[in-house]
Amino acid sequence: QVRLVESGGGLVQAGGSLRLSCAASGRSFSSDSMGWFRQAPGKEREFVAAINWNGGLTYYEDSVKGRFTIFRNNAENTVHLRMNSLKPEDTAVYYCAADDRESRITGRSVPSYAYWGQGIQVTVSS
């Protein structure tokens, strides 16, 4: 059974930092893109960041560019999201996602990803 488990969320003051981690089990994703999405109350799930299979290409939603960094460790089957200079508008449930098609294209939409974690809360206070 494939599982993605997020960790590292919590409550932080504006301007602070958090690092989210996602540990995959049940299969290797070393040949697949992985990503992070978030969903705030009353809003649709939105793209945050994605990384291609070997970590050589990364993509970010405009509002997090320069503040967030996505990276992965294929030996450990993990993907991480370092979040700096957090803002109250970053408050959301954050989801880890993994593709399963060994695609050369790294998706930035929800349908691009087959596997999802259960989500983890990030709250940024002002």
**What's the rounded Cα separation, in Å, for the pair 60 and 48?**
6
Class of residue 35 by CB neighbours under 10 A (exposed 0-12, middle 13-18, buried 19+) = buried
Per-residue pLDDT of the chain (126 residues; tens, 9 = 90+): 999 999 999 999 999 999 999 999 999 999 999 999 999 999 999 999 999 999 999 999 999 999 999 999 999 999 999 999 999 999 999 999 999 988 888 899 999 999 999 999 999 999
**What's the rounded Cα separation, in Å, for the pair 62 and 109?**
14
Using DSSP, state whether 96 is helix, strand or coil.
strand
Q: Which amino acid is at 15?
A: G
Place of tokens 């649709």: 44
